[in-house]
Amino acid sequence: MWPFDEAADELVLERVEWRRIMSRRVEEGYRDGAHAGREWALQRGFNIGFAQGAATAVGAKRLEGVLGALLAWTEQGEVCPALAVNVRHLHATAIKLSASFQAHLLTPDTQPIHPAELGEFLEAMDIGNTSQAEPKLGTRRHSEQRDVEYLTSQLCDLQRETKKLMHCFGLAPDVVEQLLPEENFSSPHSGT
């Protein structure tokens, strides 16, 4: 072999160039994949949040409307005063909870997701995660999730009380169920 082999040098240069090109392609593929994954995760999170928020908001307003109708009925004077007081209290509670839920939905999230939270955020949305463990989000987001769960729980309790009250008014069970169906409020973890 000669001390200077042009064919060998050309082959080494081609290998180096090939490795550089492949390395660049891998980086570009990683970036494209990460970008597509973020877009998909954000869209999925929006879709889930919108569906749950809309279902709960509609349920809250339906509950508020039913209680408003019962309140109008009590104001006709044909109902015992204790029942009328109970209806007024439940109606005021429904208005307050509905307003709180709506205000919570309209509060913008001014803090973007920190890259360190992204994995936890994706786990909370069950992306690639088969465990049913409680999501471990950042303190602020976890607090907001508990707020939504609390408001939804309060609305569910209020709906149960309203159904009892509707039975006291003598409304048939099928009418009560039609006005306030069990699935009126979606669970924050239901994934629907």
Residue with tokens 């039913």: 66
Whether 110 maps to a domain, the answer reads yes
Whether 2 maps to a domain, the answer reads no
The pTM is what?
A: 0.58
Locate 164 and state its tokens.
């009892």
Q: How many domains does the chain divide into? A: 1
Whether 60 maps to a domain, the answer reads yes
Lowest mean pLDDT among 22-36, 54-68, 139-153: 139-153
Domain range enclosing 109: 50-184
Whether 99 maps to a domain, the answer reads yes
Alpha carbon distances (Å) from 150 to 2, 4, 87, 162, 165: 82, 78, 22, 18, 23
At residue 136 the predicted structure's pLDDT band, cuts being 50, 70 and 90, is: very low
Whether 147 maps to a domain, the answer reads yes
Whether 42 maps to a domain, the answer reads no
Whether 31 maps to a domain, the answer reads no
Biggest CA–CA distance in the chain, Å, is 114
pLDDT at 138 over 80: no
User: Of the candidates 63, 34, 13, 97, which has an alpha carbon nearest to the alpha carbon of residue 166?
Assistant: 63
Overall average pLDDT of the 39-49 stretch: 85
Overall average pLDDT of the 161-175 stretch: 85
The amino acid at 51: A
User: Of the candidates 103, 90, 104, which has an alpha carbon nearest to the alpha carbon of residue 148?
Assistant: 104
Q: What is the pLDDT at residue 129?
A: 43
pLDDT at 130 over 90: no
Whether 138 maps to a domain, the answer reads yes
